[in-house]
């Protein structure tokens, strides 16, 4: 099969395909290939992403210092109140613990930290080393829980047990232990939980405000700007609204099985998806209160009135430009393809770190023929693709940024570390502005990719005085 | 009087909060970036490699490739040999590595992987099933992170490179230089200084080009630059081995190895930060080259002292807190002491046991009360120690920002990691020139704060 001339690791052939070639499926969810510089992270990373935004919880990493050091405050998940999540706590395992076991140190650490910081709950993340030496983290957590009287929950996130998606699952299991333990009195029948939004750059505040304007009560944010006590009573909500590729899908399923809370899948990226999210939630409550839909329509039309003129203007400028998309979840890739269409731009590469087979099939359907689709790409492949296919912008995470910049391409950060709100109608505007800001910069006129290595192409004229 | 070195100053915390250092393999990965054609390789699980890449990329703003054997749960139990071998084959054949720098991680150290044996198996395998490319040199360095910081990992990798690459060589007149974990700008400046004495240095490592390189037309798999394999092999023929940094133990020093195994005379300097430590470097270079410091460079020293004089009143009586890697901290304290900024507290995540002694060496006869020293410490220890007491200025890396923000004190950013500023890879710390640019930054930080806090808003200061 043709992969646009990308040199592919033989073992990875089945993790790359081209849209429009019939009958092919992509192999995903395979462990990263040894020796390839994978962009993927570990189970612990996935679990951290989901649980980290719970701001009044203690997050304790049970392992050597690095795992905690590298995750200290790296996400842009904001809190409107307590900010305990922005500190980095670790048991900082040393040789002693590796040899004799780390349970005692874990127990002491938990006790001292809970006493000092008075959290509403605690999560203890297991790492590779903790897993290998066989510490009974769950046992310690239960023991400490009895003493301190707050939920103390072990997160089974040993890094080597899979990729980020396994971490989402570990996080959902941890959350499942909280849900159903709080008092649900006073919750309105017109109520929801927001799942799968992590309040990067304040996004959940935006989304929450839309729902509240529709007359809905938001019981719990899971987990952006999240609180332990809200999550404990979240089973009292009438509906779970789950965003994106699946970080919290598992929790939604648990809650349906155990507490009979139905769920809806939505996406807040892009105009149609955002509007459709509000409509589908409104439809759910149609029989309880028909006015919810009316309010949703009002919100959408008001927002569009503000947004459309600017989008039109930007589209004129960006028409015909091309983009490569490399993001964590396939669902997000989806929305991005649509968002670029609004700007008159075409996506020629789609990659994801954690897509499922189904995700990739869907992506294949919405893509233009010839679009390359990759699972778990490495820098070599990304670099080769970007060399052969001249795109104007790469959308990715911090790790992809230098690849784009080195090659003289525009870049937009669409990952957990971004500091710009990209969800909602406002997010669409931010995104469009961001794309324009990078694509239209004059600096691309000077990069070697466009003009070669000499000064010839760029030098301003030198004046010479005629004698 | 040697200042008292206390590890946990107030509370006896069991846990660590807001660490001031990174883990051991990270340092090794940086050092391996400084070798031509080298792919740094972590033998362990995938997550560590990805985290470290992200961490380094945010500082250097360059592509930083770190390969990993991606050890899975099964392999953690049954042995990571096969994963390591697949990985080595891939970096050789796909990336075209001519050298692979392999570091273990906590995981593979804990499961007790034996790198010597694994390499033996690797050789056996490629004898049976040859590579399609030339066999790369493989340098290994054990990196249990639960023992030591990123600085130990950095030095250990440098030592391993030296030990495992050195070959019998006739004297060739070059000077081996072990600069430690300094910035790409520092490395370039060192090259320039040595060239001024017509000395030919071999910097081990030299990541100036790979971690601060030019814009490219196309992506090669491994960026250009770095100490070459030939340079590493011929280290034993050097006329001298210069070790910068005094807190590392001999067992982690490449220069110590050249001295004990190959009788290359070793000279140990502090990191050449500020006037006096740089004077020591220039004195040594005068001695090694038999030349005087060239006029242009003497003028640079003169401008630095002129700057000292112009600045002194802005700084006099003010206090500073210094934190970060031990040798960097000692160099900074030396410099601050020269310009009349009184260091009250020095904090490091390192634990060589030599920090207090180093600070004493550079402050004696200047400071009445030596600064307090915290080693093997984190930012919570630092807060505990500071209590209500504060300083006019903090000097260190980005991770101290929260603390200084809460206290509304300026933070002058130096060293690594710099994740909240632009151009961290280009900060010059070393030499008289580095000192002068640090001086400008420090004085301006003080002035800016004064201006911002003043109700008047003078535009002359
Ligand atoms: S396991 Fe060890 S090597 Fe990996 S990130 Fe944690 S401390 Fe660093
Ligand atoms: S040790 Fe394991 S859990 Fe920690 S960063 Fe590495 S892969 Fe992830």
Asked if A37 lies within 8 A of B41 by C-beta distance, the reply is no
> Nearest to residue A327, comparing CAs of A370, A285, A382, A380?
A382
Q: Per-residue pLDDT averaged across B134-145, rounded? A: 92
ipTM reported for the complex, 2 dp: 0.92
Q: What is the mean pLDDT of residues A7-36?
A: 56
With 80 as the cut, is the pLDDT of residue A332 above it? no
CATH numeric code, A43-177:
3.40.50.1980
Position A40 scores a pLDDT of 73
| B332 vs B273: CA distance, rounded Å | 6
C-alpha Rg value of chain A to the nearest Å: 24
User: Which of A37, A119, A449 has the highest number of chain B CBs within 10 A, making it the mutation to test binding with B?
Assistant: A37
Give ligand 2 pocket residues (Cβ under 6 A).
A 42, 44, 63, 67, 127-128, 159-160; B 45, 47-48, 51, 106-107
- Would you call B90 and A9 a contact, using CB atoms and an 8 Å cutoff? yes
Q: What is the mean pLDDT of residues B334-354?
A: 96
DSSP 8-state class, residue B227: B
* Rounded average pLDDT over A333-345: 88
Surface of B (192-221) touching A: CB under 8 A: 213, 215-219, 221
Q: Considering only CB atoms, which chain A residues are within 8 Å of B73?
A: 158, 160-162
Diameter of chain B measured on Cα atoms = 80
| Contact residues, chain B, for A95 at CB < 8 Å | 144, 146-147
pLDDT score, position A455: 60
Q: With a cut of 70, say whether residue B227 has pLDDT above it.
A: yes
pTM: 0.92
Residue A367 has a CB neighbour count (10 Å cut-off) of: 22
A/B interface, count of CB pairs below 8 Å: 236
**Contact between residue B106 and residue B81 where contact means Cβ atoms under 8 Å apart:** no
Residue B401: both structure tokens together? 């920002």
Q: What is the pLDDT of residue A442?
A: 92
Residue A327 CA to ligand 2 center (angstroms) comes to 21
**Residue in A41, A64, A66, A128 to alter for ligand 2 test, most ligand atoms within 8 A of Cβ:** A128
CATH class of the A191-302 domain in this structure: alpha beta
SS (HEC) of A209-263: HHHHHCCCEEEEEEECCECHHHHHCHHHCCEEEEECCCCCHHHHHHHHHHHCCCE
Q: The domain at B175-271 falls in which architecture?
A: 3-Layer(aba) Sandwich (3.40)
B420, pLDDT greater than 50: yes
Which CATH number does B24-147 carry?
3.40.50.1980
**Of B46, B92, B400, B401, which to mutate for an interface test with A (greatest number of A Cβ within 10 Å)?**
B46
Q: Pick the residue with more confidence: A387 or A270?
A: A270
- Cα–Cα dist A442/A465, whole Å: 30
pLDDT value at B314 more than 70: yes
Close Cβ partners of A147 (under 8 Å, ≥ 6 residues apart): A111
Confidence (pLDDT) at A32: 63
CA end-to-end span of chain B: 38
Question: Three-state SS for B302?
Answer: helix
HSE, CB side, 13 Å, CA atoms: give it for residue B87: 31
Which of A344-358, B124-138, B252-266 has the lowest average pLDDT? Answer: A344-358
CB A324 within 8 A of CB A367: no
pLDDT at B18: 93
Of chain B, the percentage scoring pLDDT greater than 70 comes to 97
Q: How far is CA A31 from CA A161, A331, A358, B73, B375, in A?
A: 10, 20, 18, 11, 40
Which chain A residue has its CA at the smallest distance from B84's CA? A34
Helix, strand, coil distribution of chain B in percent, nearest 5: 45, 15, 40
3-class DSSP assignment, residue B220: coil
Nearest in space to A452 (alpha carbons), one of A409, A411, A408: A408
> Minimal CA–CA distance to B34: which of B139, B173, B131, B116?
B139
CATH 3.40.50.1980 in chain B is located at 5-12+311-453, 24-147, 175-271
Distance (Å) of CA B53 to CA A77, A125, B20, B344: 21, 22, 18, 35
Digit-coded pLDDT (tens) for A121-138: 999 999 999 999 999 999
Q: Enter the tokens of residue A347.
A: 């996506």
Token readout for B222 is 């491994």
Which tens digits make up the pLDDT trace of B245-274? 999 999 999 999 999 999 999 999 999 999
Pick the more confident residue, B168 or A460: B168
pLDDT in tens, B390-403: 899 999 999 999 99
pLDDT value of position A4: 38
Regarding predicted confidence, which is higher, B145 or B170? B170
Q: Among A21-35, A137-151, A186-200, A237-251, which stretch is predicted with the lowest mean pLDDT?
A: A21-35
Residues A244-268 have a mean pLDDT of: 91
Closest-CA residue, ligand 2 atom 6, reads: B48
Assess contact for B267 and B201: CB atoms under 8 A: no
Task: Decide if B55 touches A, using CB distance below 8 A.
Answer: yes
Q: Quote the crossing angle between the two packed helices B431-453 and B274-289, to the nearest 10°.
A: 170
CATH number of A1-30+311-467: 3.40.50.1980
Q: How confident is the model over A446-458, as pLDDT tens digits?
A: 888 877 655 656 6
Between A467 and A454, where is the model more confident? A467
Band the pLDDT of A29: cuts 50, 70, 90: low
Rg value, chain B, Cα: 23
Assess whether pLDDT exceeds 70 at residue B82.
yes
Tens of pLDDT, residues A266-303: 989 889 889 999 999 999 999 999 999 999 999 999 99
pLDDT of B4 strictly over 60: no
A114 has a pLDDT exceeding 70:
yes
Q: What is the mean pLDDT of residues A18-36?
A: 56
Q: Across the interface, do B145 and A452 touch by the CB < 8 Å criterion?
A: no
Coil/strand/helix, residue A332? helix
For the residues B322-342, what does the mean pLDDT come to? 97
B400 close to B414: Cβ distance less than 8 angstroms? no
Strand-pairing partners, residue A60, are A89, A124
Kindly report, as residue ranges, where domains of CATH 3.40.50.1980 are found in chain A.
Answer: 1-30+311-467, 43-177, 191-302
What whole-number distance in Å separates Cα of residue A87 and Cα of residue A94?
A: 21
What sign for the dihedral angle of Cα A421, A425, A431, A434? negative
Label residue B425 by pLDDT band (50, 70, 90).
very high
Checking if the pLDDT of B212 tops 50, the result is yes
Q: Which residue out of A32, A49, A69 would a mutagenesis test of the B interface target, given it has the greatest number of B Cβ atoms within 10 Å?
A: A69
Is residue A29 helix, strand or coil?
coil
CB A71 within 8 A of CB A88: yes
CB B172 within 8 A of CB B46: no
Cα–Cα separations (whole angstroms), residue B305 to A448, B299, B301:
42, 10, 7
Distance (Å, rounded) from C-alpha A436 to C-alpha A453? 26
For residues B437 and B443, the answer to whether their CB atoms sit within 8 Å is no
- Rounded to an integer, the average pLDDT of A139-154 is 97
**Across all residues in chain B, what is the average pLDDT?**
93
pLDDT at position A9, please? 53
Asked whether residue B135 carries a pLDDT value surpassing 50, the answer given is yes
Candidates A65, A67, A126: which one to mutate for ligand 1, based on the most atoms within 8 Å of Cβ? A67
> Can you tell me which residue has the tokens 């970060």?
B324
CA–CA distance from A172 to each of A103, A168, A169, A255, A387 (Å)? 24, 6, 5, 10, 40
* Mean pLDDT across A420-439: 93
Q: Which CATH number fits domain B5-12+311-453: 3.40.50.1370, 3.30.450.40, 3.40.50.1980, 3.30.450.20?
A: 3.40.50.1980
Residue with the bigger pLDDT between A365 and B171: it is B171
Residue B348, ligand 1, Cβ within 6 A? no
Q: How confident is the model at residue B219 (pLDDT cuts 50, 70, 90)?
A: confident
């Amino acid at each position: 099969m043709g992969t646009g001339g990308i040199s592919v690791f033989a073992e990875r052939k089945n993790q790359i395909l081209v849209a429009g070639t019939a009958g092919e499926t992509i192999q995903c969810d395979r462990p990263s290939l040894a020796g390839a510089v994978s962009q993927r992270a570990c189970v612990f990373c996935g679990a951290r992403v989901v649980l980290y935004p719970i701001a009044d919880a203690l997050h304790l990493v049970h392992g050597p210092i690095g795992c905690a050091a590298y995750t200290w405050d790296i996400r842009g998940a904001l809190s409107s109140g307590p900010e305990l999540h922005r500190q980095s706590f670790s048991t900082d395992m040393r040789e002693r613990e590796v040899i004799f076991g780390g349970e005692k140190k874990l127990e002491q650490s938990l006790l001292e930290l809970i006493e000092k910081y008075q959290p509403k709950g605690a999560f203890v993340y297991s790492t590779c080393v903790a897993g290998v030496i066989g510490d009974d983290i769950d046992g310690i957590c239960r023991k400490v829980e009895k003493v301190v009287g707050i939920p103390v929950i072990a997160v089974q996130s040993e890094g080597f047990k899979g990729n980020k998606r396994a971490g989402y699952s570990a996080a959902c299991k941890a959350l499942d232990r909280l849900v159903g333990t709080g008092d649900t009195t006073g919750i309105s029948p017109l109520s929801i939980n927001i799942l799968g939004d992590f309040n990067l750059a304040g996004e959940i505040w935006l989304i929450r405000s839309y729902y509240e304007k529709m007359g809905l009560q938001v019981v719990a944010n899971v987990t952006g700007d999240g609180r332990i006590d809200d999550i404990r009573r979240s089973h009292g909500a009438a509906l779970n609204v789950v965003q994106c590729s699946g970080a919290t899908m598992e929790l939604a399923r648990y809650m349906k099985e155990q507490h009979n809370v139905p769920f809806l899948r939505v996406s807040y990226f892009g105009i149609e998806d955002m509007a459709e999210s509000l409509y589908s939630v409104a439809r759910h409550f149609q029989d309880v209160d028909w006015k919810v839909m009316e309010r949703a329509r009002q919100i959408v039309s008001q927002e569009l009135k503000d947004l459309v003129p600017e989008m039109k203007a930007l589209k004129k400028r960006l028409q015909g430009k091309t983009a490569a998309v490399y993001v964590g979840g396939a669902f997000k890739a989806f929305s991005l393809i649509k968002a670029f269409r609004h700007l008159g731009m075409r996506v020629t590469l789609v990659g994801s770190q954690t897509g499922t087979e189904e995700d990739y099939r869907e992506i294949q359907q919405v893509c233009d023929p010839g679009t390359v689709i990759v699972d778990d790409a490495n820098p070599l492949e990304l670099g080769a693709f970007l060399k052969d296919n001249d795109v104007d912008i790469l959308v990715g995470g911090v790790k992809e940024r230098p690849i784009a910049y080195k090659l003289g391409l525009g870049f937009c950060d669409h990952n957990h570390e971004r500091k710009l709100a990209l969800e909602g109608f406002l997010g669409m505007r931010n995104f469009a502005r961001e794309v324009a800001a990078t694509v239209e910069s004059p600096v691309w006129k000077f990069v070697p990719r466009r003009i070669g290595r000499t000064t010839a192409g760029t030098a301003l004229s030198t004046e010479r005085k005629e004698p | 009087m040697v200042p008292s070195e206390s590890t946990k100053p107030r509370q006896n915390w069991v846990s660590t909060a807001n660490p001031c250092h990174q883990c051991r393999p990270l340092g090794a990965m940086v050092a391996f970036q400084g070798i031509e054609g080298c792919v740094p390789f972590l033998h362990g699980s995938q997550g560590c490699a990805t985290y470290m890449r992200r961490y380094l990329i945010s500082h250097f703003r360059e592509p930083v490739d770190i390969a990993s054997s991606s050890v899975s749960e099964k392999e953690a139990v049954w042995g990571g040999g096969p994963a390591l071998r697949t990985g080595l084959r891939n970096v050789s054949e796909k990336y075209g590595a001519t050298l692979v720098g392999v570091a273990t991680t906590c995981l593979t150290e804990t499961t007790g992987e034996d790198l010597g044996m694994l390499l033996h198996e690797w050789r056996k395998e490629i004898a049976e099933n040859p590579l399609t490319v030339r066999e790369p040199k493989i340098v290994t360095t054990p990196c249990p992170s639960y023992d030591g910081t990123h600085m130990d990992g950095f030095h250990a990798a440098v030592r391993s490179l030296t030990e495992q690459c050195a070959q019998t060589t006739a004297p060739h007149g070059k000077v081996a230089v072990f600069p430690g974990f300094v910035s790409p700008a520092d490395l370039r400046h060192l090259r320039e200084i040595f060239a001024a004495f017509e000395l030919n240095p071999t910097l081990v490592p030299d990541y100036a080009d790979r971690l601060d390189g030019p814009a490219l037309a196309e992506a090669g798999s491994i960026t250009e630059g770095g100490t070459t394999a030939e340079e590493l092999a011929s280290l034993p023929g050097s006329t001298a081995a210069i070790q910068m940094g005094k807190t590392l133990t001999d067992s982690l020093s490449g220069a110590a190895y050249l001295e004990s195994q190959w009788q290359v005379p070793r000279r140990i300097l502090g990191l050449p930060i500020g006037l006096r430590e740089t004077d020591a470097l220039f004195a040594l270079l005068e001695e090694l080259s038999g030349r005087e410091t060239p006029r242009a460079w003497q003028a640079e020293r003169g401008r630095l002292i002129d700057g000292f004089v112009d600045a002194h009143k802005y700084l006099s009586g003010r206090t500073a807190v210094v934190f970060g890697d031990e040798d960097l901290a000692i160099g900074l304290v030396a410099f601050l002491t020269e310009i009349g900024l009184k260091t009250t507290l020095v904090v490091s995540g390192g634990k060589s046991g030599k920090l207090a002694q180093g600070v004493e060496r550079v402050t004696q006869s200047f400071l009445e009360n030596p600064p307090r020293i915290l080693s093997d410490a984190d930012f919570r220890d630092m807060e505990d120690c500071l209590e209500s007491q504060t300083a006019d200025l903090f000097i260190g890396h980005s991770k101290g920002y929260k603390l200084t923000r809460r206290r509304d004190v300026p933070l002058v950013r130096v060293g690594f990691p710099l994740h909240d500023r632009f151009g961290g890879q280009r900060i010059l710390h070393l030499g008289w020139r580095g000192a002068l640019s640090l001086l400008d930054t420090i004085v301006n930080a003080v002035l800016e704060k004064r201006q911002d806090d003043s109700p008047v808003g003078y535009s002359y200061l």
